[in-house]
Amino acid sequence: MARKRRKKKKKHKREESGELLLPTEEGQVLCVVTDIIGGNYVKVFCQDGKERMARIPGKLRRRMWINKRDIVLLGVWEFRDDRGDVLYRYTRDEKKKLVEQGYLDPALLEYEGEF
């Protein structure tokens, strides 16, 4: 009888290297997810004080689930300032590193929006 081989779990390159993705380019900002709208759209409150509508692109749709109060990296659209694309979702450990390094304001983590 043939033996079944188990597949190894794939890790993303960023997880293996341990590097933290930061908002380096202009037009990138850290945001907290305030509402799940549906149709691959979420409402986010950004660190610059603006509330935006964000689109989850196809390459992230099935790979990572985005929930309320998650911290995401948003790429703001050049032609429309009130919208953007989700570029990355930070894990719990990465959130702690962002706060320690001073990139993320701790007050943003408690933001609940106007519910």
User: What is the pLDDT at residue 115?
Assistant: 39
**CA dihedral defined by 23, 26, 27, 29, rounded to 10 degrees?**
30
Biggest alpha carbon–alpha carbon distance for the chain:
63
When pLDDT is cut at 50, 70 and 90, the band that residue 11 belongs to is low
User: What is the pLDDT at residue 53?
Assistant: 93
CATH 2.40.50.140 assigned to domain 21-109? The reply is: yes
3-state secondary structure string across 49-105 = CCEEEEECCHHHHCCCCCCCCCEEEEEECCCCCCEEEEEEECCHHHHHHHHHHCCCC
Supply the pTM of this predicted model.
0.75
Q: Helix, strand, or coil here: 40?
A: coil
Domain spans, the chain: 21-109
pLDDT digits (tens, 9 = 90+) for 25-45: 788 899 999 988 888 899 999
Report yes or no: 39 and 56 within 8 Å, Cβ to Cβ. no
Q: CB-side exposure of 114: number of CA atoms within 13 Å?
A: 1
